[in-house]
Structure 1
């Protein structure tokens, strides 16, 4: 499955598609995003384990939101049960949970690597002969940053590739990394525009995210179907 290279300006068209998807069924989208937020809040009420479980479930829940976007793009109803579609489908449940577990393990690994680099830094006012250790630690921190970016790109499209293209985890991660690397500029612009829109969305008690959240999800689905055109973007083996 070969991803397409998309022009940087297409990031704006993704937002346009996301807005049209939301505008067609605003009440259903708001209900779906509220269910997602409430579920994560409830999980985070459980000390330690709740947050870990939330991380493991994130790819599956994210895939469910994208299935809702797929349904909306087709003109079909966006339903609350779309959120759990990745978990209720026996073909995708285990791969998505394993993907979440791998994301959690990657986060811990990068954090441990970063902390080990930080511990190697000399204390303020340390003798000059310890300067090389500071340089090594700085290079190590840069390495962690690069590895973190690679991990983000590898996971970026992994969940939808599992659901929409029935790829296994290694193939999904590799294909996602290749697709995101090829389209780094439009994806970066997409993220920048989303971050700018998040500022006014957060001002009225975060209520703006009831609109921006669904628009962003539907825009991500539009990006996926453009980067991966044809049957994989439209046929997931699910009935919407």
Structure 2
């Protein structure tokens, strides 16, 4: 499947187009996103197994919103039950995607912890080699935090690039999980100026949403789904709309 290169300004346009998508069925999309949030929250209350279930089935539920938007694209009726369409279509690859996400989170956490530990050990070793000089705990913690933050940033960016389009590529284009991750990474890399604008705007919107005592997230959360769908249709225009979702 071919992706196309677009100009940087499209990063802003995706939010505008995402708003138009949201306004097609605001109550439906909002309720689907709310159900996903509640289910993820409830799963998080169950130690270990809840987190595992949330990671594995999260992409399956997220795919349901994309199926809904796909149905709205053709002007057909989109029932709420489309939220669970991922359990019927592309289920295996969506679960594999969740499994890969879980593994990536575990590896990322392990590497960050190793960076923190290595930085603290290095600071202690330098103090010892300096003739037993007293270790400044504040400086050591700040150094460890900086090392961990840099490593986290270096790893999270390519992961985000790989996962950004992965779910719609599986759900709407029928790609396998590995192929979807690879194609998503390449598409985002080829269009990094537009995605940089998109991410910077998200940071601004997220800050504003948080400053409204979190109420702004009631609007921003569904908008992130619809704007990412707009981005998907923009970057992958040849993706066939609306396979049978009945």
**TM-score, length-normalised on structure 1?**
0.85
Equivalent residue, structure 1, for 2:232: 224
Q: Which residue of 2 aligns with 1:105?
A: 103
Correspondence for 2:204? 196
* Alpha-carbon offset, residue 45 of structure 1: 1.8
Work out the CA distance in 1 between the residues paired with 2:156 and 2:34: 30
Quote the offset at 1:139 in angstroms. 7.9
Q: Show CA shifts across 1:62-120 (max 9, x none).
A: 2211222222333334432222111222xx10110011011100111121122223222
In structure 2, what is the equivalent of residue 149 of structure 1? 157
Measured after TM superposition, the shift of residue 182 of structure 1 is 0.9
Give the number of aligned pairs: 232
* Ranges in structure 1 where 5+ consecutive residues have no aligned partner: none
1:214 counterpart (219, 222, 230): 222
CA apart distance, 1:141: 7.2
Q: CA deviation at 1:205?
A: 4.3
4+ residue segments displaced more than 4 Å: 138-144
Question: Does 2:218 correspond to 1:239?
Answer: no
Structure 1 residues 233 and 110: CA distance shift in structure 2, 3 A: farther
C-alpha contact (below 8 Å) 1:224/1:233 kept by paired residues: no
- For 1:26 and 1:117, locate their aligned partners in 2 and report how far apart those are by CA, in whole Å: 44
Aligned ranges for residues 100-139 of structure 1 at < 5 Å? 100-121=98-119, 122-124=122-124, 126-128=127-129
- Report the RMSD for the aligned CA atoms in angstroms: 2.7
Aligned to 1:14: 14
What is the CA distance between 1:233 and its match in structure 2?
A: 5.0
* Alpha-carbon spacing, 1:191–1:127, altered in 2? closer, same or farther (3 Å): same
Which of the pair has more CA radius of gyration? 2
TM-score (norm 2): 0.83
